[in-house]
Amino acid sequence: MRILLPLLLSGCAAAVQVGPTATDADPTMIGQGDVPGNEILITRPSEAGPVTTVATIPVIFLDDMEVGRCEVGKPLLLRVPDGAWTVTARTLSGEMSRRVSVEGFQTVEMTCGASEALKPRPLLTVDPEG
């Protein structure tokens, strides 16, 4: 019995789901104004996995300037002018960057997250439809 309880508790802590399945209707917007006509939308889907993965919240940078965090259910909407931009997701274990180009009122959709590991590295992808 002494061994059974810790095993049950460790099983509960090993896999957790964080966040709602749907995204927030009101994303955090960066760069509102008349000039920015394009959008980079970064979302983090609901996920299940090790505690270290779901508890890791990568910081998002736009051309080396911190603009927000990659959180489940809290999309980040970056309004930017035409041009090429580097979007970076960073954790204590590393970083991942993607270069995106936007022009003419274009929206690029990206997905962020963290790898399944004891020291999760960030994940950042450009969605094909975006």
One pLDDT digit (tens) per residue for the chain, 130 residues: 555 555 444 444 444 444 444 444 555 566 655 666 899 999 998 877 788 787 899 999 999 999 999 998 899 999 999 999 999 999 999 999 999 999 999 999 999 999 888 889 999 999 987 5
**Do the Cβ atoms of 83 and 54 come closer than 8 Å?**
no
pLDDT value for 15: 42
Residue 23: per-residue pLDDT: 47
**Considering just the CA atoms, what is the radius of gyration of the chain in Å?**
17
Cβ-in-10-Å burial (0-12, 13-18, 19+) of 44 comes to buried
Whether domain 16-126 has CATH 1.10.10? no
Phi/psi of residue 77, each to 5°?
-110, 115
Structure confidence at residue 37 (pLDDT): 86
Which residue is it, tokens 């959008």?
Answer: 39
Residue 105 backbone dihedrals phi, psi, to 5 degrees: 60, 40
- Sign of dihedral through CA atoms 109, 63, 77, 43? positive
User: So what's the pLDDT on residue 63?
Assistant: 95
